[in-house]
Structure 1
Amino acid sequence: MPTNNIELIKALDKIRLGNLYVHNDELPDINFSSESLKTRKVYLVETLASINALVDRGTMLLYGGHGGGKTTLAKYLGQVFHQLSKDSIENCILRGHPQLTEEKILGSLDIAQLTGAKELSENASGEKKVDVIWNDFVDSQWKIIDEINRLSPYAQNILLSLLAESSVKYHNEPKRLGNFTLFATMNPKDDTNSNWDMSLPFKDRFAVALPITMPDYESLSTIGREKDKSNKLDNLASYLDNFDLRKAQEEVRELKYSEEAELLINIIISSYRICDRISKESNDKITVENGLCTKPSECHYYQVNKVCNKIINPLSVRVKEDLYRYGKALAWFLGDSEVELKHIKALAPFMIWHRSSLSKIFKKEISESRFDAGVFSLNIELESTREIIEMICSEFEGLFPLLQTFEKVKMGKLTTAEFKEFTQRIKDDRNNFLVTKKEIIPILEQSYLPVYNEITTFNNRIERTNDIQELNKIKYELTDRYDIPNRQFLADIIEKKRRKIGSQSLPPHVFKLSFKDLNLIVAKECFELEQIIKSKFNSNFNPTYNKTEVLSDLGEGEFNLSMERLNEGSGESSLRFVFQGKEDHPIFIFLKKHNVG
């Protein structure tokens, strides 16, 4: 169970007690597991903002009116998590403006080289080039985009690769970014005609979106009374002085999922996509608002308790990946030992509402029903998404046993008789689930039934052996077995088992090599390492500082090999390699020979 979360919560409490930033909305149905935090409330804004820093490449959109504390929150947390000064934080901010150019976003060419006052640099191919001086916003691990809706479509496109691929390019000079946390703030449209709509693909790059309301009456009683607020702001960098963010992120990545939570994520993504009559992802002309769901008699699934007739756009695969990552971060933040249903239910609305679109009729019904009950929605998109998630979770309760059994089918855990019984049971009319009708039943009958005995044989062989060579043999046999529907699933099991066996039997060896001229030395002495580096970096061998690069994985190859660039000061740097494999391997021999630390 995570323990460092307590240290983080205490730092957040200091901010709250200092009246620097206060929002009292709570995350529903969520509590801390740590004994010392049992009575502590789980505040919505600080929780979602904090877990955005606990994942790799966290991206969050804060939406709300002017003066609601959106940028302030991002600045404070940057000082706390990265021990940054107020001035350093200001350098991390990209302020939205319609006239923002590529140079103001990314960087500029070295003026000294352009004027001849300084020699040109050489690239890996020996060609002369002008260096790019990257802006602090690009280099910083903590990034803030203020008023992002004031960025033109041109500026949004420049940022798209940063958000999507963690890389940027300026004057043909690519730059791979290390791990970062990014917050973007967005105000409602004003009357200055300087706001731009954000495209759905651009919004899809933000994992979390949170509408920020103004502080409530209780909070307002403390705001503005602080006589010496600047002193507290100067101390923010010391609030988490001994907190290791990288270690916390590693702990987050290592957290496991309950079977229910993992399957719920899959069902949420599927429920947004599946339709009994059309492929939503490949048709934008016929929608639930335009001919698809206008006549209830034409579709068996046009029902009040079904979500398919309420969803216009399906979700991207990124939503699955983001829910998986942020689910772990929320569990860690709360002190839980694994990700459970409650974590996914709590997070899903905030990770989906801005990345899809729902039927206007459905949103109107939600708004009117709440209005009649005296409840006034602040954000109908978010509130409607909450309802969709509730409906999916309600159906999931009856669907879960069938999904559990289907997982056993993929693992070859059922006998032939049990498999045949399941294929009949799942077709029962009482199991009125769209995902079973459209996707599970067809694959059971068409793909699994003809080869199920062979699937059980493959799974038994994988389960019985602890020999890496035998696992390699099984994986090779699966390579051209296109008739095995769970071939990729079996390959994943083999990779995980290889990784586990290798990790237990092969000790890790740590080496430190000087970065200077290393690529030239590798090219002369170690062909195997040269090929790996070339495939990872192409011709631009310039690893990002303090970012662990996985060069080889025991799950797929003969050894584990990771690399991290370290700053040694005075312009010098080194590379820290961790090798886990046989000691007679050429890469191990090379690393040992050139080890300087």
Structure 2
Amino acid sequence: MEIWYYVNKISINKEVNNFIHAIIRDFTLCVRVDKGSSENLKPGTGLCSGCHFNTNQNICNKIESILSVRVAKDLLRYSKALTWLLNLEKIDINLVKTIAPYVISHRVKFTTRELEKSPYWGNPYAFSKSILDIIQKRFINRADCYQIAERFRDGESKSDDLTTLKNYQKNDLIVKYDLIPFVNSINNKKYPKIAQKIKEAAKNGEIEVLASVRNDLLENIDFPNRAYLINLCNQELYKQTVSDYIFKYVNNKEIWADIVSEIPKLDKPLKEAFMRRQTKQIRTEDLLIEINVTGTNDDSLVNIQISGGSEALRLRKIIEQLDYIQREE
């Protein structure tokens, strides 16, 4: 359990996130049908006949079934684990690609004709590796499109960006069905202003502004790309307030009392978090606490991580006045 606590702390960058997304979507997208709900129309039954995307360098014509959302979670989880095990500083797409055949090959049905060709001879693991080579190549070729989408996401698009994307969509299903619809959804006057406000607040360390924008977005459920902006606020608040501490289990009642005397609403969740060996998150509107109890013996270690807005800063000040808790750098 303690190992997974440290594994889960490994961060993921945009390139890795986009690559995992590309894997899932390349195994899923089809210009003609929704493969997730189509039972009879499959590449193996003539679905791809005459299709513009029916080429050797496309993935859609080689896949009979789609990948579930769980595969994306597993790819990220196991990539983080391997990164930690190898003592690497960060995940990269080559590491994800190494993990992917083990995660994917037994979860998807390939077209028999493609799978049984030389040199695969029906081996789904070998065929998965070949598919992932194609996905990585297409992912690299799509790099400009991801940059364009990111500029729109950050409220900094250029005048010719949308035209460039439309040129790519002719031969790329991810651009056609994911990136262009996303860009169209945020290509308005309001979105760039909010995105820029978040960026400036993050740059200037304005925690109260970030918290305020996030809270407004939580209320405005119709705002485009709302989940991303809320997450961006949370990430920036995390970066500027995150603090890690460690103490011995014997002191759990003392820390509970010291915190609750200042922040009473944490009474019950803190008690529950300290009850047994577990990792537990406590969330409020302006605070995230992650507690990892490695055991319930007096000498067992307890990790506690704090992040959020002004309430996180308040809690950090309380904790740093306690003699029996140490800050982890």
TM range (shorter): 0.7 to 0.9
Supply the AA of the counterpart residue of 1:548: T
Does the Cα contact within 8 Å between 1:260 and 1:400 map onto a contact in 2? no
More helix by share: 2
The reply on whether 1:348 has 2:100 as its aligned counterpart is: yes
Residue 391 of structure 1, CA deviation = 1.7
Following the alignment from structure 2 to structure 1, what is the Cα–Cα distance between the partners of residues 72 and 47? 26
Matches within 5 A, 1:221-240: none
Equivalent residue number for residue 269 of structure 2: 532
Look up the match of 1:435. 174
**1:273 aligned counterpart, secondary structure:** coil
Q: Hey, what does 1:272 align to over in structure 2?
A: 27
* 394 and 488 in structure 1: CA distance in 2 versus 1, 3 angstrom threshold: same
Matches within 5 A, 1:310-325: 310-325=62-77
Distance 1:282 1:400 in 2: 30
Unaligned runs of 5+ in 2: none
How many residue pairs were aligned? Answer: 317
* Secondary structure in 2 matching 1:397: helix
Question: Which whole-Å CA distance do the structure 2 matches of 1:267 and 1:327 have between them?
Answer: 16
The alignment partner of 1:266 has SS state of: helix
Pairing 1:306–2:58 present? yes
Structure 2 distance, partners of 1:315, 1:583, is 42
5 Å matches for 1:132-151? Answer: none
1:478 aligned to which of 203, 217, 220: 217
> 3-state DSSP class of the match of 1:426?
helix
User: Partner of 2:123 in structure 1?
Assistant: 380
Q: Are residue 412 (structure 1) and residue 155 (structure 2) matched? A: yes
CA–CA distance in structure 1, aligned partners of residues 263 and 160 of structure 2 = 57
Check conservation: 2:281, 2:291, Cα contact below 8 A.
yes
| 2:198–2:233 contact (8 Å) kept in structure 1 | no
Residue in 2 that maps onto 1:498:
237
Q: 2:281 aligns with which of 546, 550, 558?
A: 550
Quickly say closer, same or farther: Cα 1:391–1:450, change in 2 above 3 A: same
CA distance in 2, matches of 1:321, 1:266: 10
Q: 2:293 aligns with which of 533, 556, 564?
A: 564
**Equivalent residues of 2:156, 2:192 under 8 A apart:** no
Letter in 1 for 2:26: S
Tell me if the contact between 1:512 and 1:577 (Cα under 8 Å) persists in the aligned partners. Answer: no
Indicate the larger mover: 305-314 or 404-413. 404-413
For the 8 Å contact 1:448–1:485, the answer to whether it is kept is no
Contact 2:279–2:290 under 8 Å retained in 1: no
Cα RMSD (Å) of the superposition?
Answer: 4.0
CA–CA distance in 2 between the matches of 1:409 and 1:488?
Answer: 15
Contact 2:260 2:267 in 1 (8 A): yes
Q: Is the 8 A contact 1:513 1:596 kept in 2?
A: no
Contact map agreement 1:532 1:551 (CA 8 A) in 2: yes
**Identical counterparts, % of pairs:** 23
CA drift of 1:513 comes to: 4.8
Q: Structure 1 residues 515, 508: closer, same or farther in 2, change over 3 A?
A: closer
CA distances 1:299-324 after superposition (whole Å, capped 9, x unpaired): 32122221112112211122112212
Residue 427 of structure 1: CA displacement?
0.8
Deviation string, structure 1 residues 193-236 (Cα, Å, up to 9, x no partner): xxxxxxxxxxxxxxxxxxxxxxxxxxxxxxxxxxxxxxxxxxxx
Secondary structure of 1:402 counterpart:
helix
TM-score (norm 2): 0.78
* Aligned partner of 1:468 among 207, 227, 230: 207
3-state DSSP of counterpart to 1:548: strand
Per-residue deviation, 1:524: 12
What does residue 426 of structure 1 align with?
Answer: 165
SS at match of 1:275: coil
Is the contact between residue 195 and residue 229 of structure 2 (CA under 8 Å) also seen in structure 1?
no
Aligned-partner Cα distance in 1 for 2:294–2:83: 30
Q: Report the Cα distance in structure 2 between the residues aligned to 1:584 and 1:327, rounded to whole angstroms.
A: 35
Paired residue for 1:396, among 125, 135, 139? 139
Whole-angstrom distance in 2 between the partners of 1:575 and 1:261: 32
CA distance in 2, matches of 1:564, 1:320: 28
Kept after mapping to 2: 8 A contact 1:451/1:483: no
1:514 & 1:452 partners in 2: Cα distance? 47
Q: Distance in 2 between matches of 1:563 and 1:442?
A: 40
